[in-house]
């Protein structure tokens, strides 16, 4: 298909070249015809010089016009004039030759002209000098029509014929320069190279699509009972979860042609172009049926039609045409429409109704088993040693989508090559997770000793509050090495198991942990810094959600005060209450945060010795593991070492998905 696009591009360039060359040729032809009709251009002289030429016997012929007198010299006089001027009189040269009127046997062109003067003596003077003279004879109707035809009508006819031919060539297959033609990429079955085996972590979505594939393979099995092939299936989910990959896998499994294009490919500044492209796309698809048409990011043309704020005529015409085409084609031909979006809430209801997109298939973030499967798919062509534990990486990357996991595998391979290793180790995978989450180490950022001390106490404050509370995830790593994504230091944690729900106590503990860094700064240095900005944002977000969404506030009870918009993108919350209630919500959030901050200060104040020792060790080492952190903590608190089997929970070889950033 890329070769076809290049071919079309070359054809367009050649078309513009033909237009330019042909226009130049037509211009020269018109100029030549005009010069042939006009002949040479004589030179203007004064009336007294004209009389002197007549008196000197140098004039052969005179033509008396209505406003000019045209003068033709004798051959001898013309030669003398040429010698004296160094060239031909007038501009008889080139155009005279072109017109064919400079030969000896042809009628001579005038050499000079002068303005007409009402002189009654002139005929007698010319007659005495033996000069042939005549008056101007008006053009006949036939000669006038011929001149107008050659100089005006003929060039116009030539230009109209030329541009009609070029426009017919350019508009063949759709608007000017192919502007109304669908630019969908078509892949045949062998070219997609994707099957369901290449898609991992989306078992439910694959199951729904496998039914469609089976329908394309065995239509009789379903039509015998009266079932019809769904006209369309809408793939919905966050970015990077594999919606496009699933669509290609359907085509690869069904072994049918696969048309793929983006919703934005229909949109143009010219009204009607998008609708024309939709018509052309469905026309091609019906000719290739059975086939699959995949429209990625369909929200670009499928937004709800809104007349309150004024609509977009081009987008709405495109949507209307899409709706009409989806109603018009026959499902028995095996034409299936797949579309993908991560903004289903803004799509037009007419597009989502049964009969157009009959199925909505959720392609969500993979769970623990799904992440393991995704890592295995992307790691199958990567050489790895025996230390690699993909389940540990999957557990540590809760919330990651398929593209994140693929990027982590690739970063690990790059890191192994950078360090001169032939295989990828577990250490490379850990570092890759850190790079994806918080960026690379910023080696050129050198903090002062005082800043290192502040950041160290801040991070240990987070970690110590985590260790002192129940319902928290174990600390796995503490570092004060700056990262490129803005973190001066961070604490990494990992869950002991995959969780889909959080209790109220767990959320309250999260808020206390988030504010532990700021509490440590105030407790040790009697001041605070700007490093807790991200912590405060996280704590406020959790507290507000507890009050407005989860019904965990005694003041508001089970009242839903916020709704989520763009669930699969930023997940922004929008208040559904009045201004007075919103002010009360702010007061409740403030109360919850103050209580959590007081708890964090209490915990750190009661364990100041552990805080100081761990912070000093972190300043010296810059990075410490969860095992080293817990060892110092137990020594200070006099807690015995755990049994061998339980130490694995605080292993430093596990990394959390959500580090606390500064």
Ranked by mean pLDDT, the top range of 138-142, 341-345, 511-515 is 511-515
Give tens-digit pLDDT for 460-491.
999 999 999 988 888 888 999 888 777 888 88
What is the reported pTM?
A: 0.67
- How many Cβ atoms are within 10 Å of 125's Cβ, its own excluded? 14
Q: What pLDDT does residue 24 have?
A: 66
Q: Which two tokens stand for residue 219?
A: 């239509």
Query: 314 and 326 in contact (C-beta within 8 Å)?
Result: no
Length of the chain: 662
Q: Report which of residues 114 and 454 the model is more confident about.
A: 454
Rounded to whole angstroms, the Cα distance separating 540 from 529 reads 18
Q: What is the dihedral of CA 523, 527, 531, 537, to 10 degrees?
A: 80
**Spatial CB neighbours of 361, under 8 Å, sequence gap ≥ 6:** 205, 208, 209, 233, 234, 235, 236, 246
Structure tokens at 446: 């050198």
Nearest to 437 by CA among 399, 395, 466, 473: 399
**Lowest-confidence segment of 6-10, 393-397, 625-629 by average pLDDT:** 6-10
> What is the rounded end-to-end Cα distance, in angstroms, of the chain?
48
Q: Read out DSSP for 4-56?
A: HHHHHHHHHHHHHHHHHHHHHHHHHHHHHHHHHHH---PEE--HHHHHHHHHT
Angle among Cα 622, 627, 631 to the nearest 5 degrees reads 95
As given in the structure block, the two tokens for residue 503 are 């209790």
**Do residues 243 and 256 make contact, with C-beta atoms less than 8 angstroms apart?**
no
Output the pLDDT for position 175.
46
398 neighbors 500 (Cβ within 8 angstroms): no
Average pLDDT over residues 311-328: 79
Q: Are 316 and 363 in contact (CB under 8 A)?
A: no
Q: What is the token pair recorded at 505? A: 């106590």
Question: Among 54-58, 564-568, 641-645, whose mean pLDDT is lowest?
Answer: 641-645
pLDDT at 612: 93
Percentages helix, strand, coil for the chain, rounded to the nearest 5? 55, 10, 35
The whole-angstrom separation of Cα 363 and Cα 240 is 10
Q: 588 or 31: which carries more pLDDT confidence? A: 588
Residue range 399-411: average pLDDT? 89
pLDDT digits (tens, 9 = 90+) for 577-587: 889 999 999 99
Residue 596's pLDDT band (cuts 50, 70, 90): very high
Confidence of residue 513 (pLDDT cuts 50, 70, 90): very high
Whether 191 is catalytic? no
Supply φ then ψ for residue 70, to 5 degrees: -95, 135
| Span of 64-73, 159-168, 196-205, 360-369 with lowest mean pLDDT | 159-168
Which is more confident, 299 or 653?
A: 299
Angle at 336 between CA 334 and CA 338, to 5 degrees: 165
Beta-sheet pairing, 232-236 with 359-362: parallel
pLDDT at 97: 38
Find the range with the poorest average confidence among 296-305, 623-632, 644-653: 644-653
- The mean pLDDT value of the chain amounts to 79
> How many of the other CB atoms lie within 10 Å of CB of 229?
20
Q: Percentage of the chain surpassing pLDDT 90?
A: 21
Q: Pick the range with the lowest mean pLDDT from 193-207, 280-294, 325-339.
A: 325-339
Place of tokens 């211009």: 27
d(CA 603, CA 605): 6
* pLDDT score recorded for residue 138: 61
Confidence at 192, pLDDT banded by 50, 70, 90: low
167 — pLDDT class (breaks 50, 70, 90): low
**Which of 42-46, 75-79, 502-506 tops mean pLDDT?**
502-506
Confidence of residue 14 (pLDDT cuts 50, 70, 90): low
Which residues share a beta bridge with 185?
Answer: 260
pLDDT digits (tens, 9 = 90+) for 115-143: 777 777 888 888 778 788 777 666 556 66
- The predicted pLDDT at position 4 comes to 44
- Look at 164 and 402; give whichever has higher pLDDT: 402
Per-residue confidence at 37, pLDDT binned at 50, 70, 90? low
Residue 214, pLDDT above cutoff 70: yes
Of 350, 352, 329, 328, nearest in space to 339 by CA: 352
Options 43, 81, 297, 459, the catalytic residue:
459
Beta bridge partners of residue 293, listed in sequence order: 259, 337
- The Cα 618–Cα 488 span in angstroms is 13
pLDDT at 2: 45
């Amino acid at each position: 298909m890329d070769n076809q696009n290049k071919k079309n591009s070359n054809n367009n360039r050649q078309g513009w070249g033909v237009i330019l060359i042909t226009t130049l040729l037509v211009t020269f032809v018109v100029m030549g015809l005009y010069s042939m009709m006009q002949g040479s251009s004589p030179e203007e002289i004064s009336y007294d010089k004209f009389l002197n030429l007549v008196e000197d016997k140098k004039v052969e012929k005179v033509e008396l016009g209505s406003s000019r007198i045209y003068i033709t010299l004798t051959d001898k006089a013309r030669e003398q004039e040429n010698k004296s001027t160094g060239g031909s009189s007038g501009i008889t040269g080139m155009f005279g030759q072109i017109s064919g009127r400079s030969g000896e046997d042809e009628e001579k062109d005038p050499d000079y002209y002068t303005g007409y003067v009402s002189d009654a003596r002139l005929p007698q003077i010319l007659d005495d000098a033996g000069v042939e003279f005549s008056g101007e004879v008006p053009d006949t109707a036939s000669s006038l029509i011929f001149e107008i035809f050659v100089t005006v009508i003929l060039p116009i006819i030539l230009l109209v014929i030329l541009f009609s031919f070029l426009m017919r060539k350019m508009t063949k297959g759709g608007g000017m320069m192919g502007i109304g033609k669908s630019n969908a990429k078509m892949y045949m079955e062998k070219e997609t190279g994707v099957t369901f085996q290449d898609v991992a972590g989306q078992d439910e979505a694959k199951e729904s699509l496998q039914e469609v594939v089976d329908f394309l393979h065995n239509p009789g099995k379903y039509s015998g009972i009266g079932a019809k092939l769904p006209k369309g299936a809408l793939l919905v989910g966050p970015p990077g979860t594999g919606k496009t990959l699933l669509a290609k896998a359907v085509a690869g499994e069904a072994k049918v042609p696969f048309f793929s294009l983006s919703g934005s490919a229909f949109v143009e500044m010219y009204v009607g172009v998008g609708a024309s492209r939709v018509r052309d796309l469905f026309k091609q698809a019906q000719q290739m049926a059975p086939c699959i048409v995949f429209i990625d990011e369909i929200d670009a043309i499928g937004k709800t039609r809104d007349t309150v704020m004024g609509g977009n005529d081009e987008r709405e015409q495109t949507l209307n045409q899409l709706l009409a085409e989806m109603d018009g084609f026959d499902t028995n031909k095996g034409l299936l429409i797949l579309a993908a979006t991560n903004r289903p809430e803004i799509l037009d209801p007419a597009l989502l109704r049964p009969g157009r997109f009959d199925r909505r298939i959720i392609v969500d973030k993979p769970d623990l088993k799904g992440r393991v499967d995704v890592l295995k798919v992307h790691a199958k062509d990567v050489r790895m040693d025996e230390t690699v534990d993909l389940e540990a990486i999957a557990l540590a990357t809760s919330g990651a989508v398929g593209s994140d996991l693929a990027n982590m595998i690739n970063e690990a391979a790059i890191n192994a090559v950078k360090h001169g290793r032939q295989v990828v180790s577990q250490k490379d995978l850990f570092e890759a997770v850190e790079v994806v989450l918080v960026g690379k180490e910023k080696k050129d950022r050198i903090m002062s000793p005082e800043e290192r001390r502040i950041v160290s106490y801040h991070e240990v404050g987070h970690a110590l509050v985590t260790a002192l509370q129940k319902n928290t995830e174990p600390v796995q790593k503490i570092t004060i090495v700056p990262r490129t994504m803005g973190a001066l230091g961070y604490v990494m944690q990992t869950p002991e198991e995959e969780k889909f729900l959080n209790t109220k106590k767990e959320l309250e503990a999260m808020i206390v942990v988030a504010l532990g860094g700021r509490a440590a700064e105030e407790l040790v240095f009697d001041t605070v810094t700007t490093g807790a900005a991200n912590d405060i944002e996280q704590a406020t977000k959790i507290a507000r959600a507890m009050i407005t969404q989860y019904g965990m506030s005694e003041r508001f009870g089970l009242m839903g005060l916020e709704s989520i918009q763009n669930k699969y993108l930023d997940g922004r919350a929008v208040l559904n209450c009045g201004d007075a209630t919103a002010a009360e919500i702010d007061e409740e959030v403030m109360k919850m945060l103050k209580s959590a901050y007081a708890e964090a200060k209490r915990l750190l104040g009661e364990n100041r010795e552990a805080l100081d020792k761990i912070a000093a060790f972190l300043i010296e080492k810059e990075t410490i593991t969860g095992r080293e952190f817990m060892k110092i903590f137990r020594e200070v608190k006099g807690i015995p070492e755990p049994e061998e089997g339980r130490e694995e929970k605080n292993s430093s070889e596990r990394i959390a998905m959500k580090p606390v950033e500064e």
